[in-house]
Amino acid sequence: MSKIAVSTTVNGDPAEFLCDAGETLLDVLRGSLGLTGSKEGCASGDCGACTVMLNSQMVCSCLVLAVEAEGKSIATVEGVAEGSVLHPVQRQFLEHGALQCGFCTPGFIVAAKALLEVNPDPDETEIRYWLAGNLCRCTGYDKIVRAVSAAAAELRQDSKAQRSAA
Amino acid sequence: MTTLTYHAPRTREEAVALLAADPTAKVLSGGTDLIVQMRGGRAAPTAIVDIKNVSAMMSVLGNDGRYSIGAAMPCTGMLRDEGLCKAWPGVVEAANLIGSVQVRNRATMGGNLCNASPAADSIPALIAAGATVLIVGPSGIREVPVEQVPVAPGKTSLTAGEFVVEIRLPVRPARSSDAYLRSIPRTEMDIAVVGAGVSITLDEAGTCTAARVALGAVAPTAILVPEAGAALVGSKLDGAAMDAMAAAVRAACRPIDDKRGTAEYRTAMAGVLAKRTALIAAARAKGEA
Amino acid sequence: MNAPDPMSKYRVVGTRPVRPDGIDKVTGKAIYGPDFVAAGMIHGAILRSPHAHARIRSIDTSRAEALPGVKAVVTSADFPGQSAKIIAAGETSSSLRDIAATCLAHGKVLYVGHAAAAVAATTKAIAEAAAKLIVVDYEVLPHVIEVEDALAEGAPILHEHMITKGLDPAPDSPSNAANCLVMTRGDADAAMAGAAVIVSGHYRTVPVHQGYIEPHACVASWNADGQGQLWVSSQGHFDIRNQTASVLHIPSSDLRTYPLEIGGGFGGKTGIYLEPVAMLLSKKAGRPVRLAMSREDVFCGSGPAPGIVVDLTIGADADGTLKAIKAEFWYQVGAFCGSAVNSGMATLLGTYRIANAHLCGWDVVSNFPGTKAYRAPGAPQMAFALESCLDDLARKLDMDPLDLRLRNAVRPGDPGPHHVPHGAIGFVECLEAAKAHPHWTAPLGANQARGVAGAFWMNYGGPSTVSVALSGDGSVQVTTGSPDIGGSRASMAIMAAEVLQVPYERVRVAIADTASIGYSMVTGGSRVTFATGKAVVEAARKVEETLVTRAASLFGVAATDVEWRNGAAHCLTGESAGEHLTIGAIAAKAGQFSGPVSAEVSVNPLDYLPGFAVHICDTEVDPETGNVSIIRYTTVQDVGTAIHPDYVEGQMQGGAVQGIGWALNEAYVFDGNGRMENPGFLDYRMPVASDLPMIDTVMIEVPNPAHPYGVKGVGEAPIVPPLAAVANAVSRATGLPMRTLPLSPDRIWATIQAAK
């Protein structure tokens, strides 16, 4: 069986890999690219633990064929922090105790960041519905919702500060 | 181990040729059904034809009040077309109840239609809307009503080499709108136990002049219930007309008992949901919602 | 949020610092079960039974072995012979025979999904393809799922050797009743005859899954010298090691087992499924082997929680004082006996004062995966029956349901479920706090109603080993053997920092492999913050003692003249009076003494105290569709002392939501062939974020005097009340009894229709 060569951008860096036609993006991220931050909880798009950004749209990487990533840009949980500086969503998850086992956390981080990029001031209902594709079995979601809300407030504050500085 | 090949044709003709060449070939659109089926062993194609690179497959085009939606247009992509959302809120909301945001960023109405699940959310809404689909294949192009595409659970009327390229929505008359509701145990991430799509047109006095009622998950395919629409026409959607409509809906149901609900429950819910959906569609038609 | 409370008697205990493993988990760096890679690792796959009950006539592995890339194939014939010897298995105990048969079927398959054979190959795809080439010749047998069917005359028998335990005389033929336990207190019949009010009900719940998001996974490596390594994501790598070594007949110490991060367990990761199979594959292949479950494997091949059928009758005086309780109940335990009966008894006898009781409980096996512990194992099902029945009593007496519970709640000194008097418990405090909470009196809208339920959970202590070691710079290393699932590394660091009076950030916590620290029991039974925490405190105190002794020597005074304060030894008398030596200064002088400063402590505390909780739930029922919305939810719990309040609240919220899922929509649905119809997250409907409101938490702190900081287990009690709290609310909203779970919309709708 001959492999297919795919060229992509992962977290801003060029990345190339070989895959079989049936392999998913999640398989390749976790396998040959060694990015195990994206988790496989169901392999059917029902838990969101494998959430990544594909050309700026959040998707379940278990529902994307790896070959489809040709020429596209992928952003994973590993690229959310800038170097060793955490993104406000990550920091607020820590500050709020919004994780217990942490297995669903990468998917929530990517999804929450994506929400705040399109809706900087979501209310509780908007947060809950946006995150409905991300299952968490440990927290009951309460602290996750609070963390996302706090991150939104922090980001609004940051952008306000940037605007007044400019 | 079977070998699988992946193709990403640029033209309709290439896609048709690839599909016609391999009877096991599967069309890949959003992949949210196909990839799960492949992983679970329920689909074992030897070729995948990704249609997303075919031109106009991922666009929404408005033209003289008509809309053409590319079959590979993700559900969330439709939300960005204000005109479409205004004209066909029921269709857009139905497509945007499927799965999660992650899923809807990939899932398409074309795929939802061709997966031919009796419980597909967008199909009843499209049927109620009077939508048609443009199908291309080895013998050319044909346009058929949406309700003629699914023929049984998981089966469509498409023949070898054919695929859906476009979903077409007709001109929206004045004082006319649509809605879709479904019954699910949770608030998100569920398959419809029952779905109801209603498209309705009122006159200036608020009397219904046209109505189409379609149901999901109560028969082997989504169904149009002409008697239900007829029960509303000529009425101001008063209690008696709504009861008659719901009775027609229940009479049309041929559901099964399964893990998602009993037949009895589905039939009853079809009536409840059809009423609620009709009221939303009417309110929208009046510009109240 | 993280500032110390000036009113607190503690410096660090009760603060909310960031957990030490947090950054790895929000950045995707943490290595969980399915993430670990060993050098040279190959991949395994398991062939699972398509039948609910079948005899294995033969297994032909030749075609699989012939496939290029296949390195090993194993069946139960590769296991050493097993005895019926009972060994500790996580929170319960099991026979070696059942443990081994759970990993690979021996002679018979007992459920759809039962592992029948396994393959290892150079890629996962080859392994999966090879598994499909294994031919198992099955003689399909009739199967049973429901308790009533399993106990019926002529029912197919799962285990030909199973004679019901606990019956006198012992039956002379096998049955599916694994165990029967009878408990009596006083004279239930006489007391019931004298009761002013009697309520009774027939209650039923079905099996549900723990639903952790991380599927089971492990990597095993069997070396040429007979020793091996295991990398596991589990609730207790020592117990995983012991069970695996036991069924493989090798010494435990020959199997060095490394803990990986665990993506949720809730009791379901206390036993073994994959580990010995991976070891055998590795032995044959000569390479490390990864075995990992898919989500479907998890549902069909790992332990759910048992269902229950309960007949319950409660008698009371006209003022609501409980007089007598009678119950017969049957736990639907799946393919292997594993008792939840004791826990059911404790639930019935541990929560309220009841002088007269006659209880009879059964464990019944049937053809679905052998059940495993799930958070307060056995209790939520029984509390559903008890607390629903109490609600009926409150209505019958026209009594406030909290007042009814307050009248009967167990208090310190009352007999516990096993006659040992309850210690410093805070159930009454919880009930009073619930009554005083604004939620209890908030107005309700149309179709809305409020339900309440109480809970008792016994908790546990048990063995743990901890070491506390100082580096030369005085920074502190705490090492435990307790996997951290919900933030326990933070609470261990807090307790060590509290003892040594150093900043939280000076303490680092690691969870060591089985060769690097002594035995610790599983993270389960709400035991880690209590028992492992106790060991941390004791070890830290020993370190403090050493530091004080060494400082005294350096100051030239007696140890009693040195005070440990603010992370330093302060000299109280003599020439050095007023001087101090910091922890770092003393640690740096280790060379002048008998060596580095460290202490290792092993404990086995059994002076744990039970947890109590009260939950208030508001629901809105759509009378036309039967859909239930949870519109408000408050949890009140006696937490002893909250070491890290965020993670205590998190336990309360998470337990409540798991219980809400259990109440509303979660269920194993079987088809006529015994196949689970919903083995995925789409149709096994766990709550999603949009299903829920915020979960309010009220922590009641009634300290446990047996723990240095008053800790009580908090992880399990929160899942006990929600089933009944939700059902009671739905019942009040509809005016109809809700005695069968789950309360899915179609069931509620049918109940409403039937009453019309």
Query: Does residue B43 fall inside a structural domain?
Result: no
B151: closest CA of chain C, how far (Å):
24
**Residue B66: which domain range?**
54-169
CB contact under 8 A, B189 and A133: yes
d(CA B273, CA B196): 6
Report CA-CA distances (Å) from B7 to A4, A70, B47, C316.
Answer: 11, 12, 7, 74
Tell me, yes or no, whether C469 and C592 share the same domain. yes
Identify the domain boundary among C603, C619, C640: C603
Looking at residue B78, which CATH number applies to its domain? 3.30.465.10
CB B196 within 8 A of CB B214: yes
Option in B186, B264, B272 nearest C665 (CB): B186
Tell me whether residues B31 and A65 touch, CB distance under 8 A: yes
pLDDT at B3: 84
- C615 and C712 part of one domain: yes
Pick from B149, B169, B189: which residue ends a domain? B169
Is position C723 within any domain?
yes
CB pair distance less than 8 Å for B185 and C744: yes
Shortest CA distance from A32: residue in chain C = C37
CA distance C508 to C497: 10
B187 and C688 within 8 Å at the Cβ level: the answer is: yes
Position C652 in a domain = yes
Three-state DSSP at C91 gives coil
Q: Which residue of C has its CA nearest to A82?
A: C27
Instruction: State the CATH number of the domain containing residue C674.
Output: 3.30.365.10
Q: Are residue C585 and residue C672 in the same domain, yes or no?
A: no
Please give the residue range of the domain that contains residue C676: 436-448+609-755
Which of these, C310, C312, C306, lies nearest to C340 by C-alpha position?
C306
- Closest chain A residue by Cα to residue C31: A36
According to the model, what pLDDT value does residue C6 have? 63
Q: Which pairing describes strands C42-48 and C289-292: parallel, antiparallel, or unpaired?
A: parallel
Q: How confident is the model at residue C7 (pLDDT cuts 50, 70, 90)?
A: confident
**Are residues C719 and C745 located together in one domain of the fold?**
yes
Nearest residue of chain A to residue C485 (CA atoms):
A101
**DSSP tag of C561:** G
Rounded-to-integer distance, Cα C339 and Cα C308, Å:
12
Contact C82, C244 (CB under 8 A): no
Given a contact cutoff of 8 angstroms between Cβ atoms, the answer to whether C178 and C333 are in contact is yes
Domain assignment present for B245: yes
Which chain A positions have a beta carbon within 8 Å of B102's beta carbon? 45, 48, 51, 58-60, 63, 111, 133
Measured CA distances, C236 to C360, C480, C513, C756 (Å): 33, 11, 10, 52
Q: What pLDDT, in 10s, does the model give residues B168-217?
A: 999 999 999 999 999 999 999 999 999 999 999 999 999 999 999 999 99
Domain for residue B37, yes or no?
no
pLDDT at C5: 63
pLDDT, tens digit, 9 for 90 and up, residues C319-341? 999 999 999 999 999 999 877 89
For residue C741, tell me if it sits in a domain: yes
CA-to-CA distance for C309 and C307, rounded, in angstroms?
7
Best probe of the A interface among C2, C21, C27, by most A CBs < 10 A, is C27
What is the model's pLDDT at position A162?
85
Q: Report chain C residues whose CB lies below 8 A from the CB of A40.
A: 34, 215
In whole angstroms, what is the distance from residue B20 CA to residue B158 CA? 12
Q: Last residue of a domain, which of B169, B202, B219?
A: B169
pLDDT band per the 50, 70, 90 thresholds, residue C728? very high
C176-206: pLDDT as tens digits: 999 999 999 999 999 999 999 999 999 999 9
CB-nearest to C16 from A93, A97, A139 is A97
Apex CA B72: angle with CA B71 and CA B74, to 5°?
115
CB atoms under 10 Å from CB of A72, counted, come to 18
The 8-class DSSP code of residue B22 comes to -
Of C603, C627, C656, the position where a domain reaches its end is C603
State whether C129 and B1 contact (CB < 8 Å).
Answer: yes
- pLDDT confidence of residue C4: 53
Q: By C-alpha distance, which of C692, C693, C718, C198 is closest to C453?
A: C718
Q: Within an 8 Å CB–CB cutoff, is residue C685 touching chain B? A: yes
Q: How many residues does chain C have?
A: 756
* Residue C639 forms part of a structural domain: yes
Q: What's the number of domains chain C is made of?
A: 2
| H or E element in which residue C738 lies | none
Contact criterion met (CB below 8 Å) for C476 and C398:
no
pLDDT band at A1 (very low <50, low <70, confident <90, very high): low
* Confidence class for position C94, pLDDT limits 50, 70, 90: confident
Question: pLDDT at residue A138 above 90?
Answer: yes
When scoring A59, A108, A135 by the number of chain B Cβ atoms within 10 A, the one with the most, hence best to mutate, is A59
How far is residue B231's CA from residue B248's CA, in Å, rounded to a whole number?
8
**How far from A90 is each of A107, A147, C596, C634, CA to CA, in Å?**
11, 9, 38, 27
User: For residue A118, how many other CB atoms are within 10 A of its CB?
Assistant: 11
CA distance C175 to C564: 64
Residue C518 reports pLDDT greater than 70: yes
Whole-complex ipTM: 0.98
Q: Kindly report the CATH number that applies to the domain delimited by A4-79.
A: 3.10.20.30
Contact yes or no for C470/C614 (Cβ under 8 A): no
CA distance C238 to B149: 58
| Cβ pair C221, C228 in contact under 8 A | yes
Residue position matching structure tokens 């069946």 = C75
Tokens 């149309």, residue located: C446
Question: Are both B160 and B60 inside the same structural domain?
Answer: yes
Three-state SS string over C105-173 comes to CCCEECCCCCEEEEEEECCHHHHHHHHHHCEEEEEECCCCCCHHHHHCCCCCCCCCCCCCECCCCCCCC
- Is A162 exposed, middle or buried, given 0-12, 13-18 or 19+ CB atoms closer than 10 A? exposed
Interface contact flag, B101 A133, Cβ < 8 Å: yes
- In chain B, which residues have pLDDT < 70? 1-2
User: Among residues 482-501 of chain C, which lie with CB inside 8 Å of chain A?
Assistant: 485-487
In the structure, what pLDDT confidence band is assigned to residue C239 with cuts at 50, 70 and 90?
Answer: very high
Is the domain of C539 the same as that of C631?
no
Going by the DSSP 8-state scheme, the letter that residue C717 receives in this structure is: G
Within the 28-57 window of chain B, which residues sit less than 8 Å (CB to CB) from chain C?
Answer: 40
Q: What is the pLDDT of residue C360?
A: 98
Which pLDDT value is given to residue C3?
54
Spatial strand order of the sheet with B5-7 comes to: B5-7, B47-50, B26-28
Yes or no, beta carbons of C125 and B1 under 8 Å apart = yes
Percent of chain C past pLDDT 70, that is, above it, reads 99
Please report residues of C whose CB lies closer than 8 A to that of B187.
Answer: 688, 690-691
Whether this model's pTM surpasses 0.90: yes
Extract the runs of DSSP E, i.e. beta strands, from C223-306.
Answer: 228-232, 255-259, 289-292
Q: DSSP assignment, residue C531?
A: I
Do B214 and B157 belong to one domain? no
Closest by CA to B97, choosing from B88, B84, B82, B107, is B107
Tell whether B125 and B86 lie within a shared domain: yes
> How many domains, in total, are found in chain B?
2
How many C-beta atoms lie closer than 10 Å to residue C475's C-beta?
Answer: 16
Mean pLDDT of A44-67: 98
| Closest Cα in chain B, distance from residue C126 (Å) | 8
- Work out the mean pLDDT of chain C and round it to a whole number: 96
Task: Name the domain boundary from B122, B144, B169.
Answer: B169
Cβ contacts of residue B67 below 8 Å, gap of 6+? B60, B61, B81, B83, B84, B87, B88, B168, B169
Q: Which residue among B1, B185, B188 sits closest to C665, beta carbon to beta carbon? A: B185
The residues with which B210 forms a beta bridge, in sequence order, are B201
Out of C563, C586, C603, pick the residue that ends a domain. Answer: C603
What percent of chain B is modeled with pLDDT above 70? 99
Task: Tell me if residue B150 falls in helix, strand or coil.
Answer: strand
A46: nearest CA in chain B? B189
Specify whether the CB–CB gap between C129 and C65 falls below 8 A: no
B47-50 and B26-28 beta bridge pairing: parallel
Contact B6 A48 (CB under 8 A): no
C715 → chain A, closest CA residue: A138
Rounded CA-CA distance B71/B165 in Å is 5
The answer to whether residue B271 is domain-embedded is: yes
Whether the pLDDT of residue C1 is over 50: the answer is no
Is C52 exposed, middle or buried, given 0-12, 13-18 or 19+ CB atoms closer than 10 A? buried
- Residues C213, A136: C-beta atoms closer than 8 Å: yes
- The closest CB to that of B186, out of C125, C688, C750, belongs to C688
The 10s digit of each residue's pLDDT in C523-568 is 998 999 999 999 999 999 999 999 999 999 999 999 999 999 999 9
pLDDT band for C226, please (50, 70, 90 cuts): very high
Alpha carbon distance, N-terminus to C-terminus of chain B: 55
Q: Do B162 and B192 have their domain in common? A: no
> A88-165 belongs to which CATH class?
mainly alpha
Categorize the per-residue pLDDT at C730 as very low, low, confident or very high, splitting at 50, 70 and 90: very high
In chain A, domain spans? 4-79, 88-165
Diameter over CA atoms, chain C: 91
Shortest Cα distance from A125 to chain B (angstroms)? 11
pLDDT band at C488 (very low <50, low <70, confident <90, very high): very high
Which of C624, C678, C685 is nearest residue B272 as measured by Cβ atoms?
Answer: C624
